[in-house]
Amino acid sequence: MKHIFYPESIVVIGVSERPDNLARYIVANLLTFKYQGDLYAVGLRTGEVYGVPIVDTLDRVPDGLDLAVILTPAHTVPDLMDACGRKGILRVVIESAGFSEFSEEGRRLEEQLLEIARKWNIRFVGPNCISVVNLETGVCLPFGPISPDIVRSGPASVVAQSGGVSLTYLGALSKAGIGVNKVVSIGNKTDLDETDYLAYLLDDDKTEMICLYLESISDGRLLMDLARSSTKPIIIHKANRGKASQNVAFSHTAALADDDRIVGAAFRQTGILRAEGFRDMVAIVQGLSLPPVQGNELLIISRSGGHAVSAADTAERYGFQLPPLPDSFNKAVRTLFSADVIAPTNPLDLGVIYDFQVYAQIVEQSLQALSPDAVLLINTYSQHEADDARLLARRVGEIVRELGHPIAVCNYTDVDDVREIQKEIGLPVFDDINGALRGLASSREWTLWQRNSVRMTPSFSKTSQHTVSMNITEDGVLTADQALNLCEAYGIAVAQWEIAQNPEEAMKSAERIGYPVALKILSSEMTHKTDYGGVALGLSNSNEVKAKAQNLLDQIAESAAESQSFAFMVQQMVSDGIEVILGGKRDPHFGPVVMFGLGGIHVEIYDDVAFRVAPLIEFDVRTMIEEVRGARLLKGFRGKAPIDLEGLIQTLLSLSQLMVENPNIAEMDINPLIVTGEGAVAVDARGVIADSKK
């Protein structure tokens, strides 16, 4: 990576003197940003651009250059890559398009690139990218002109799957008073992907926070491991939030486990901050550039009462508390003006005070009297007040540096002075209340994550697999008895059951188990038994069991295919609990995933579920349970006793272990699991083996 971001010599391939040639802009950008290394240009014909000679073959540049940048038609790139290998140029940026993103022929060209790269031990960026920027060294390789006036050097580095988005964030973060250090557009990420760049930037001294824009995730588990190890905030804007997995769902879990939910769960587990869009990304980074927010107590100071009320509403949405101002503050601020012109409340409305210097003094007095975790200062001003507003912002910047308190300045004005103010105070200025509070909340979230001791990497051992005897059906389905056997092998409590082949055997099983019992049709071809009327509950004597068993057989005979074979599961009734669902799914990018939710058979209607990537630790399980909207039911509701939370947690940890140690399990439902004050009992389960999934 060093030769990609810190090359001491660069050759740009595809340059010509023609005014419409794009590669010439790469040369222009390098010169504009004062790149100090050796610079060469190669094209079809000799010539000169911006004082740099163009040679007509790569053979006429020195061997062993640090970096080659290629912008030529796609079909020419493999031969040029091979020529780079012969010249000992082992780092390449391919900005050309027309590869796998375009056609099948392009995909084959991309495969050739990989073969040639492996032959010469070349690592390359792209193809189909805008390229690399390092403002430290003047490396600026996009094929469109970039003005130094719109960029600002700063602590954030950007990795983007889209070239256009990489330039958008270069401009947006510069405008927002943050600035950037490095930017890389990764394109088709045929060789180097987001985890390669992330690993490098985590060790890069000049990068303090990392922003990623991703449309796909190459290796979810490696991404999680890198995030867990990070001492730098990682913010990801994940687009292309598809639900492709729903199309192949066998179980409730798979039907609910769309790609985006799993991505969100993985981010929450590893401290990754998720940006919901461009403005959201910028707001998060602005918040992280302030001193860290340590807790939930917020002080709002506003020149406008309406803005103060709006800010209070937004603060509540982000989980902030507005503590009242103490008497000591009231006494202190009275010395700043001759009359009681403001009420000492939080939010603090300063609308009747026109001296901006007093605003700064009030900020200081507030911090000393209240010591909040963060301050939101909202200023509204017009053109004739712009100089005073700038002085106020400058003094607030000094207070932030002196006291180490996070103060988010939010200006509402028609004066275009944000860039100047940010440059003077060295801090971001927000342009709306929601962005300011989103930034402060993100800082709080990152601070709490760092403080937490749960950032250890869970064990992902596959060495102690349980062996359970299962006669798997041809379609790979685990019937309820097989799935419950597997659950029991992992320490999950299961309601007592027996298998019966006919109504007479069902009666005998019920006598042995004890009434009341449930009666269920057992068939690999009937995964959702209630859809077929294949379940009878609360049977209290042998006559009921026999009659219901015969009735179920008659019903199934009318609605099911003749080839199906059936048995009965006779099971102990478990009542007076809350029905929940536990599930497992094997995600192509993140591996085993665990689901928890409320609703039993209605789970897909309620859609009240949460996911985590296995293996889980106890903290993961507790936060997953709390994330479910109906979690209050588990704590006791309207006279009902709370459930055995520890028992539920252990059951989820056992399911996590089951999914990790059995990589052949593609999907798993424990539904319902009935939780009471005395424990958690699995009543029904189903699963599918991975080899059967097409």
N- to C-terminal Cα separation, the chain: 38
Tell me the per-residue pLDDT of 479-519, one tens digit each, with 9 for 90 and over: 899 999 999 999 999 999 999 999 999 999 999 999 999 99
Calculate mean pLDDT across residues 665-673: 93
Q: For 321, which DSSP code? A: B
Check residue 559 and give its pLDDT: 62
Instruction: Label residue 246 by pLDDT band (50, 70, 90).
Output: very low
pLDDT at 483 (0 to 100):
93
Query: What is the token pair recorded at 232?
Result: 């730098």
Task: Give the Cβ contact number of residue 100 at 10 Å.
Answer: 17
Q: Are 376 and 298 in contact (CB under 8 A)?
A: yes
Q: Give the global pTM.
A: 0.90
* 611 SS3 class: strand
Question: How far, CA to CA in Å, does 204 sit from each of 8, 155, 236?
Answer: 18, 11, 18
Tell me the fold of 578-692. Answer: D-amino Acid Aminotransferase; Chain A, domain 1 (3.30.470)
396: closest CA among 357, 438, 351? 357
256 pLDDT band, cuts 50/70/90, is low
Token digits of residue 386: 């712009």
User: Do the Cβ atoms of 110 and 74 come closer than 8 Å?
Assistant: no
1: CB partners within 8 A, 6+ apart:
196, 197, 200
428-438: burial string, b at 16+ Cβ within 10 Å, e else: bbbbbbbbbbb
123, 191 Cβ separation under 8 angstroms: yes
Superfamily of domain 295-427, CATH level 4? Succinyl-CoA synthetase domains (3.40.50.261)
Secondary structure, 3-state, 532-556: HCCEEEEECCHHHHHHHHHHHHHHH
Numbered ranges of CATH 3.40.50.261 in the chain:
295-427
pLDDT at 245: 44
Q: What is the pLDDT of residues 181-191, one digit of tens each?
A: 999 999 999 99
Tokens 């859809």 sit on residue: 531
Contacts 24+ apart (CB under 8 A), 466-474: 466/490, 466/658, 466/661, 466/662, 472/689, 473/524
In the chain, where does the domain assigned CATH 3.30.470.20 lie? Answer: 578-692
In the structure encoding, which two tokens stand for residue 602, read together? Answer: 């209605």
Task: Report the largest interatomic distance among the alpha carbons of the chain, rounded to a whole angstrom.
Answer: 99
Residue-level pLDDT at 323: 93
* Residue 25 near residue 64, CB atoms below 8 Å: no
Residue with tokens 């760092």: 450
Residue 115 pLDDT > 90, yes or no? yes
Domain with CATH 3.30.1490.20 in the chain: 496-572
Separation of alpha carbons 618 and 558, rounded Å: 48
Task: Give span(s): CATH 3.40.50.720, the chain.
Answer: 2-214
**Distances 266 to 222, 604, 662 between C-alpha atoms, Å:** 11, 22, 20
Q: What count of Cα atoms within 13 Å lies in the side-chain half-sphere of residue 303?
A: 21
51-65, 155-169, 214-228, 562-576: lowest mean pLDDT where? Answer: 562-576
pLDDT, tens only, 267-309: 999 999 999 999 999 999 999 999 999 999 999 999 999 999 9
Q: Which residues pair with 595 in a beta bridge?
A: 583, 611
Q: Which CATH number fits domain 496-572: 3.40.50.620, 2.60.40.10, 3.30.1490.20, 3.40.1280.10?
A: 3.30.1490.20
For 88-114, what is the HEC assignment? CCCEEEECCCCCCCCCHHHHHHHHHHH
| Run of H or E including 588 | none
Report the DSSP beta bridge partners of residue 92.
68, 124
| Angstrom distance (rounded) from CA 329 to CA 471 | 75
What would the pLDDT profile of 415-467 be if each residue is shown by its tens digit?
Answer: 988 888 998 898 999 999 999 999 999 999 999 999 885 555 565 544 445 54
Which CATH number applies to 2-214? Answer: 3.40.50.720
Q: Which two tokens stand for residue 679?
A: 């424990």
